[in-house]
Structure 1
Amino acid sequence: MTNRERFLALLADSSVTQVESAGLIAEQTQRPCSARTVRSWIASPETPSARPCPDWAIEALERRLKKLKKVVA
Protein backbone atom coordinates (compact mmCIF):
# COMPACT_ATOMS: atom_id res chain seq x y z
CA MET A 1 0.00 0.00 0.00
CA THR A 2 1.39 3.41 -0.94
CA ASN A 3 1.52 6.32 1.47
CA ARG A 4 -1.16 8.02 -0.63
CA GLU A 5 -3.44 5.00 -0.18
CA ARG A 6 -2.63 4.83 3.55
CA PHE A 7 -3.44 8.53 3.97
CA LEU A 8 -6.76 8.17 2.14
CA ALA A 9 -7.62 5.10 4.24
CA LEU A 10 -6.89 7.00 7.46
CA LEU A 11 -9.18 9.82 6.34
CA ALA A 12 -11.96 7.38 5.47
CA ASP A 13 -11.60 5.30 8.65
CA SER A 14 -11.58 8.32 10.95
CA SER A 15 -14.10 10.50 9.09
CA VAL A 16 -11.57 13.34 9.19
CA THR A 17 -11.51 15.89 6.37
CA GLN A 18 -8.44 16.97 4.47
CA VAL A 19 -8.46 20.32 6.27
CA GLU A 20 -8.82 18.65 9.66
CA SER A 21 -5.99 16.24 8.85
CA ALA A 22 -3.70 19.15 8.02
CA GLY A 23 -4.49 20.67 11.41
CA LEU A 24 -3.90 17.37 13.21
CA ILE A 25 -0.55 16.90 11.51
CA ALA A 26 0.45 20.46 12.39
CA GLU A 27 -0.54 19.88 16.04
CA GLN A 28 1.42 16.64 16.21
CA THR A 29 4.57 17.90 14.52
CA GLN A 30 4.44 21.50 15.76
CA ARG A 31 5.18 22.54 12.17
CA PRO A 32 2.88 24.11 9.60
CA CYS A 33 0.85 21.82 7.36
CA SER A 34 -1.73 23.27 5.00
CA ALA A 35 -4.79 21.76 3.39
CA ARG A 36 -3.15 22.48 0.04
CA THR A 37 -0.19 20.31 1.03
CA VAL A 38 -2.53 17.48 2.02
CA ARG A 39 -4.36 17.80 -1.30
CA SER A 40 -1.05 17.49 -3.16
CA TRP A 41 -0.25 14.30 -1.19
CA ILE A 42 -3.54 12.60 -2.03
CA ALA A 43 -3.92 13.86 -5.59
CA SER A 44 -3.88 11.34 -8.39
CA PRO A 45 -0.23 10.68 -9.32
CA GLU A 46 -0.91 11.89 -12.88
CA THR A 47 -1.92 15.33 -11.61
CA PRO A 48 0.83 17.96 -12.09
CA SER A 49 0.41 19.23 -8.51
CA ALA A 50 0.73 15.73 -6.98
CA ARG A 51 3.55 15.22 -4.48
CA PRO A 52 4.65 12.05 -2.69
CA CYS A 53 3.17 11.72 0.77
CA PRO A 54 6.06 11.52 3.26
CA ASP A 55 6.30 8.80 5.89
CA TRP A 56 6.46 11.38 8.69
CA ALA A 57 3.04 12.76 7.69
CA ILE A 58 1.42 9.32 7.90
CA GLU A 59 3.07 8.65 11.26
CA ALA A 60 2.04 12.04 12.65
CA LEU A 61 -1.57 11.63 11.53
CA GLU A 62 -1.76 8.08 12.90
CA ARG A 63 -0.35 9.17 16.27
CA ARG A 64 -2.76 12.10 16.57
CA LEU A 65 -5.78 10.02 15.53
CA LYS A 66 -4.87 7.30 18.05
CA LYS A 67 -4.50 9.92 20.75
CA LEU A 68 -7.97 11.23 19.90
CA LYS A 69 -9.27 7.64 19.72
CA LYS A 70 -10.49 8.16 16.15
CA VAL A 71 -8.75 5.01 14.89
CA VAL A 72 -7.90 1.69 16.45
CA ALA A 73 -4.23 0.87 16.89
Structure 2
Amino acid sequence: MDNRTRYLKLLDDYGITQAKSAELVAAVTGRPCAPRTVRSWVNDPEKPSSTPCPDWAINALEKAIDYMQRALARRAER
Protein backbone atom coordinates (compact mmCIF):
# COMPACT_ATOMS: atom_id res chain seq x y z
CA MET A 1 0.00 0.00 0.00
CA ASP A 2 1.44 3.40 -0.94
CA ASN A 3 1.60 6.35 1.44
CA ARG A 4 -1.28 8.17 -0.24
CA THR A 5 -3.56 5.19 0.29
CA ARG A 6 -2.35 4.69 3.87
CA TYR A 7 -3.00 8.36 4.70
CA LEU A 8 -6.49 8.24 3.18
CA LYS A 9 -7.24 5.02 5.09
CA LEU A 10 -6.19 6.61 8.39
CA LEU A 11 -8.43 9.59 7.70
CA ASP A 12 -11.35 7.32 6.85
CA ASP A 13 -10.83 4.82 9.68
CA TYR A 14 -10.66 7.51 12.37
CA GLY A 15 -13.04 10.08 10.89
CA ILE A 16 -10.37 12.76 10.62
CA THR A 17 -10.71 15.59 8.12
CA GLN A 18 -7.81 16.67 5.95
CA ALA A 19 -7.67 20.01 7.79
CA LYS A 20 -7.62 18.32 11.21
CA SER A 21 -4.93 15.91 10.04
CA ALA A 22 -2.80 18.90 9.03
CA GLU A 23 -3.15 20.27 12.57
CA LEU A 24 -2.24 16.91 14.07
CA VAL A 25 0.81 16.45 11.85
CA ALA A 26 1.97 19.97 12.70
CA ALA A 27 1.48 19.34 16.43
CA VAL A 28 3.48 16.12 16.40
CA THR A 29 6.30 17.30 14.16
CA GLY A 30 6.58 20.89 15.29
CA ARG A 31 6.66 21.81 11.60
CA PRO A 32 3.98 23.79 9.79
CA CYS A 33 1.55 21.67 7.81
CA ALA A 34 -1.28 23.33 5.92
CA PRO A 35 -4.51 21.68 4.76
CA ARG A 36 -3.41 22.50 1.22
CA THR A 37 -0.29 20.37 1.76
CA VAL A 38 -2.43 17.44 2.88
CA ARG A 39 -4.65 17.90 -0.18
CA SER A 40 -1.59 17.65 -2.40
CA TRP A 41 -0.60 14.39 -0.66
CA VAL A 42 -4.01 12.73 -1.11
CA ASN A 43 -4.80 14.21 -4.52
CA ASP A 44 -4.95 12.00 -7.61
CA PRO A 45 -1.29 11.26 -8.45
CA GLU A 46 -1.97 12.16 -12.10
CA LYS A 47 -2.85 15.76 -11.21
CA PRO A 48 -0.12 18.39 -11.46
CA SER A 49 -0.89 19.62 -7.93
CA SER A 50 -0.21 16.18 -6.46
CA THR A 51 2.84 15.62 -4.24
CA PRO A 52 3.97 12.23 -2.91
CA CYS A 53 2.98 11.73 0.71
CA PRO A 54 6.17 11.49 2.79
CA ASP A 55 6.84 8.72 5.30
CA TRP A 56 7.24 11.24 8.12
CA ALA A 57 3.67 12.48 7.56
CA ILE A 58 2.27 8.97 7.93
CA ASN A 59 4.34 8.41 11.07
CA ALA A 60 3.24 11.73 12.56
CA LEU A 61 -0.45 11.07 11.88
CA GLU A 62 -0.21 7.57 13.36
CA LYS A 63 1.52 8.99 16.44
CA ALA A 64 -1.17 11.67 16.85
CA ILE A 65 -3.92 9.04 16.59
CA ASP A 66 -2.12 6.93 19.21
CA TYR A 67 -1.90 9.94 21.55
CA MET A 68 -5.60 10.66 21.11
CA GLN A 69 -6.58 7.05 21.78
CA ARG A 70 -4.46 6.93 24.93
CA ALA A 71 -5.97 10.18 26.19
CA LEU A 72 -9.49 8.88 25.58
CA ALA A 73 -8.67 5.59 27.33
CA ARG A 74 -7.32 7.45 30.39
CA ARG A 75 -10.41 9.64 30.46
CA ALA A 76 -12.66 6.56 30.29
CA GLU A 77 -10.86 4.99 33.26
CA ARG A 78 -11.88 7.85 35.54
* TM-score bracket relative to the smaller structure: over 0.9
Tell whether 2:69 aligns with 1:69: yes
**Deviant stretches of 4+, over 6 Å:** none
TM-score, with normalisation over the residues of structure 1?
A: 0.94
Return the offset for 1:11.
0.0
Return the offset for 1:42.
0.2
Provide the C-alpha distance between the structure 1 equivalents of 2:8 and 2:68, rounded to a whole number of angstroms: 18
Show the counterpart of 1:49. Answer: 49
Show the counterpart of 1:13. Answer: 13
- Which structure shows the higher helix fraction? 2
TM-score, with normalisation over the residues of structure 2?
A: 0.88
Percent of residue pairs identical:
54
Return the offset for 1:34.
0.2
Report how many aligned residue pairs link the two structures: 70
Instruction: Report which of the two structures shows the higher radius of gyration computed on alpha carbons.
Output: 2
Instruction: Give the superposed CA RMSD.
Output: 1.1
- Which residues of structure 2 form unaligned runs of 5+? 71-78
The code of the aligned residue for 2:53 comes to C
Provide the C-alpha distance between the structure 2 equivalents of 1:52 and 1:46, rounded to a whole number of angstroms: 11
- Relative contact order (alpha carbons < 8 A, sep ≥ 6): 1 or 2 greater? 1
Q: Deviations over 1:10-50 (max 9, x none)?
A: 00011000000000000000110000000000000111100
